[in-house]
Amino acid sequence: MKIEQQNIGNNGSINVGERESKLRNVVCGPMRWLKMLASQLHWSYVFGLVSVYGINQGFGYSLGRVATDYYMKDVQKVQPSKSQALNTITRIPWIIKPLWGILTDVVPINGFHRRPYFILAGVFGVVSLLFISLRSNLHLYLALFWMTNIKCCNGDCGYLMPLNLLHWSTSWFLHEWHLSSSCWLQGKAMWRTMKCSNVWRPSLYMYISLALGFDIQEGLSYWFTDSNDGSLFAQETVGFILSIGPIGSILGVLLYNLVLKDHPFRSLFWWTQLLFALSGMFDLILVLRLNLKFGLPDYLFIVVDEIVSQMIERLKWMPLLVFNTKLCPHGIEGTFFTLLMSIDNAGLMTSSWLGGILLHVLKVTRTEFGNLWLAVLVKNVMRLLPLCFLFLVPKGNQKTFKLPNEIMGEDSENENLINSANSL
């Protein structure tokens, strides 16, 4: 059997033996990728990547979601539609991510652009958590302020003190070079790129596909725990179900890398959006109690629903993320990718806001869930509408799609602009 060959060049590329199976490539690929990052950047970068995104956001998201749901429902006593709308406010820091990126690029602290901001984010995150946890009678809008501050400082790490301390401690190991940049030049380069039709058209589609998702998760969460007709799950049960869901995300990533990654973007968006709409029917079956008529208990049905839904959601997100990387020109890759992700987050915020309006219009409250099935049905139908906008997405795949020649020509100008600013 041919021995696997792995060469890490100066450009960070990795060559793997031809006879390596796809499954082995998927399993070993992340380790090779982390090794490449450590060799090209620094081991502290890999440590920070795993700590902040793997543990902080990955582990903290599931537990933080349970904490926030019960905090809004049991402590603040708000209606599901209002809770859904208030959650959109906490997403605002994710929409202005390009401003944070530009701020850290152009305003160094003691000559560093990243480490001091990591430290400040960890400190402010811990302070915000202390205010929420130690004040049981905290006013709703003051609590909302501190919750938004937590998202601003630590993203989706949730409301867990150890994870915020991990975020803070990571900064002390982060190796960083002294760099400088220009806010005006970065903004000019991003605007020049965004005006290209091959960039703004797919960006518009990604916003529409996410905005029309109609997030009504708060209404379903209240139904799981409060309704006499619902499942009446305990907090521990809800937390366990959400902790099982990431298995579906892992399966989605593996399926995409093994089978789907070379398919055209437009075809991928079509099928994943269709599956995304169909997966919402699980919620309709659950709310109408049809699963009990088929002899499927709520607990088993919801666990399967959570795994399948997260797998399909990950299949929907993977081509979006890959396509975003293809839209980033040379010289401003990091800042422009942040801009594209902020557009996606704006779509998620719009989805949550529209979902709150839908729950309010249908009069879904803490104790009245008679129209919840209709809200679920409307949500699933709205998820089909983005299929009408697929003409905005180019037909190429991740290997064939490239930015047009005029943008590629201006890419070198973008890079020269940024490099000249860095040399000042």
Quick: pLDDT tens for 209-235. Answer: 999 989 998 888 888 877 576 777 777
Q: At what angle do helices 333-361 and 372-382 cross, to 10 degrees?
A: 140
Find out whether 209 and 269 touch, Cβ atoms under 8 Å: yes
| pLDDT tens, residue by residue, 31-72 | 777 777 777 776 667 776 676 666 666 566 666 677 777 788
Q: What was the pLDDT predicted at 315?
A: 92
Look at 370 and 26; give whichever has higher pLDDT.
370
Identity of the amino acid at 270? W
Instruction: Indicate the CATH number for domain 181-424.
Output: 1.20.1250.20
Confidence of residue 368 (pLDDT cuts 50, 70, 90): confident
pLDDT score for 321: 87
pLDDT of residue 2: 38
Backbone angles phi, psi at 319, to 5 degrees: -65, -30
Question: Residue 173 — pLDDT band, cuts 50, 70, 90?
Answer: low
Cα–Cα dist 75/83, whole Å: 12
Angle at 198 between CA 390 and CA 386, to 5 degrees: 20
Which of 55-69, 93-107, 296-310 has the highest mean predicted lDDT (pLDDT)? 296-310
Q: What is the pLDDT of residue 359?
A: 93
Cα 399 to the chain's mean position, in Å? Answer: 24
Query: pLDDT-derived band of residue 387, with 50, 70 and 90 as boundaries?
Result: very high
Q: In angstroms, how far is the first alpha carbon of the chain from the final one?
A: 54
Rounded CA-CA distance 146/156 in Å is 14
The predicted structure's pLDDT at residue 147: 78
Q: What is the mean pLDDT of residues 113-139?
A: 75
> What confidence score (pLDDT) does residue 407 get?
65
Of 95-109, 130-144, 304-318, where does the model show the most confidence?
304-318
Q: Provide the b/e sequence for 247-264 (b: ≥16 CB within 10 Å).
A: ebbebbbbbbeeebeeeb
User: What is the radius of gyration, based on Cα positions, of the chain?
Assistant: 23
Q: What is the pTM of this model?
A: 0.75
pLDDT at 328: 79
Q: What does the pLDDT read at residue 52? A: 66
* Average pLDDT value for the chain: 76
Sign of CA dihedral 290, 295, 297, 303: negative
Neighbours of 230 (CB within 10 A): 18
Provide the pLDDT confidence category of residue 26 given band limits of 50, 70 and 90.
low
Mean pLDDT of 408-417: 47
Q: What integer pLDDT is reported at residue 164 of this predicted model?
A: 53
Would you say residue 156 has pLDDT above 50?
no
User: Rounded CA gap, 151 and 149, in Å?
Assistant: 5
More confidently predicted of 93 and 302: 302
What is the three-state SS of the chain? Answer: CCCCCCCECCCCCECCCCCCCHHHHHHHHHHHHHHHHHHHCCHHHHHHHHHHHHHHHHHHHHHHHHHHHHHHHHHCCCCHHHHHHHHHHHCHHHHCHHHHHHHHHHCCECCECCHHHHHHHHHHHHHHHHHHHHCCCCCHHHHHHHHHHHHHHHCCCCCCHHHHHHHHHHHHHCCCCCCCCCHHHHHHHHHHHHCCHHHHHHHHHHHHHHHCCCCCHHHHHHHHHHCCCCCCCCHHHHHHHHHHCHHHHHHHHHHHHHHHCCCCHHHHHHHHHHHHHHHCHHHHHHHCCHHHHCCCCHHHHHHHHHHHHHHHHHHHHHHHHHHHHHCCCCCCHHHHHHHHHHHHHHHHHHHHHHHHHHHHHCCCCCCCCCCHHHHHHHHHHHCCHHHHHHHHCCCCCCCCCCCCHHHHHHHHHHHHHHHHHHCC
**pLDDT tens sequence across 247-296:** 888 888 888 888 888 889 999 999 999 999 999 999 999 999 898 888 88
Identity of residue 338:
T
Asked if pLDDT for residue 416 goes beyond 60, the answer is no
Give me the residue spans of the domains in the chain: 62-180, 181-424
Q: Which residues are paired to 8 by β-bridges?
A: 14
pLDDT at position 34 is 73
